[in-house]
Amino acid sequence: MSNDGFFSIGDRIQLTDPKGKMYTFTITQGKEWHTHKGWIVHNDLVGLPEGSVVSTSAGLKFTAFKPLLGDFVLSMPRGATIVYPKDAAMIVGVADIFPGAKVIEAGVGSGALAISLLRAIGPQGQLHSFERREDFADIARDNVATYFGLLPPNWNLTVGSVQESSTEDKFDRVILDMLAPWECVDYAAQILRPGGVFLAYVATTTQLSATAEALKEDGRFTEPLSSETIVRDWHHEGLAVRPMQRMIGHTGFLIVSRRMAPGVEVLARRRRPSKGAYGVAEE
């Protein structure tokens, strides 16, 4: 996919009508895109700059852009539920995914998060992804190849459980999107370098609690921090400014911790636990 601001054969294009409805397809030599009101010849789109207005043969107009990452993710084929763009952005930021980083990802799903991670680490980084289901892995592989135009050479996708893999390499980040991330805490401690980041994306408070307690009991990680991200769009028409009635609410929790240096004991928490946090005390 070209990034020069002009459309070429093989680029994804996003057409938006005056009502805000979006249509996405790949520009292909000799093809036509048909609507209920005329068609657009793909070849006529080549060479146009992004932000152009294009018309069908019957005069129906669309604004043309290349899809943003969030647009691509929301429209791509999926097997597993995708990591929403708002959560992927937080993961990249909170886990401090940097250019050149060596990252382990477990639970690749449909490939949405893998795309964000690959963009963040750049060509000098390494991403090793694990997915237990081969059908999900196939979908993810196709989505990543479609987005980048080819399979990135610095991405390795393995069908299987991350806990069963073995490596002597040390990694900068471990990112988990799976049902039981607490089962991978020991594995993460073994492969993370000192100061490396452990991040799990979980859907329920039960998973959140189990992962937090596993990190605390392990003794090789800092006190975990947890959060969720809620995004609400706003409507603005003159002085009529109000929140949209629909919003992307809870999608998941992020729980983050860092690897301590080998042999260094985690400092004890100084705050008192909430009353009843660990069950009813015996009298």
Same domain, residue pair 95 and 110: yes
CA-CA distances (angstroms) from residue 86 to 82, 101, 180, 184?
11, 21, 22, 25
143 inside domain: yes
Same domain, residue pair 25 and 134: no
Same domain, residue pair 202 and 135: yes
Report the pLDDT value the prediction gives residue 244, as an integer from 0 to 100. 86
Same domain, residue pair 49 and 122: no
User: In 3D, which of 10, 1, 4 has the Cα closest to residue 43?
Assistant: 10
Each residue's pLDDT tens digit, 260-275 = 999 999 988 776 666 6
**C-alpha span between 269 and 231 (Å, rounded):** 32
Report the pLDDT value the prediction gives residue 283, as an integer from 0 to 100. 47
**C-alpha span between 167 and 170 (Å, rounded):** 8
User: What single DSSP character describes residue 67?
Assistant: P
Q: Is 52 annotated as a binding residue?
A: no
Same domain, residue pair 55 and 170: no
Its pTM stands at 0.86
Same domain, residue pair 112 and 231: yes
267 inside domain: no
Same domain, residue pair 104 and 23: no
Each residue's pLDDT tens digit, 141-200 = 999 999 998 999 999 999 999 988 888 899 999 999 999 999 999 999 999 999 999 999
Rg of the chain over Cα atoms, rounded to whole angstroms, equals: 23
Q: Is 161 annotated as a binding residue?
A: no
The answer to whether 64 touches 27, Cβ cutoff 8 Å, is: no
Same domain, residue pair 198 and 111: yes
Q: Is 111 annotated as a binding residue?
A: yes
272 inside domain: no
Q: DSSP states of 230-247 as a string?
A: -B--EEEETTEEEE-S--
Q: Is 177 annotated as a binding residue?
A: yes
Q: Is 277 annotated as a binding residue?
A: no
Domain that holds residue 24: 12-67
Report the pLDDT value the prediction gives residue 271, as an integer from 0 to 100. 65
Using DSSP, state whether 256 is helix, strand or coil: strand
Residue 277 has pLDDT above 90, yes or no: no
Using DSSP, state whether 205 is helix, strand or coil: helix
Q: Is 131 annotated as a binding residue?
A: yes
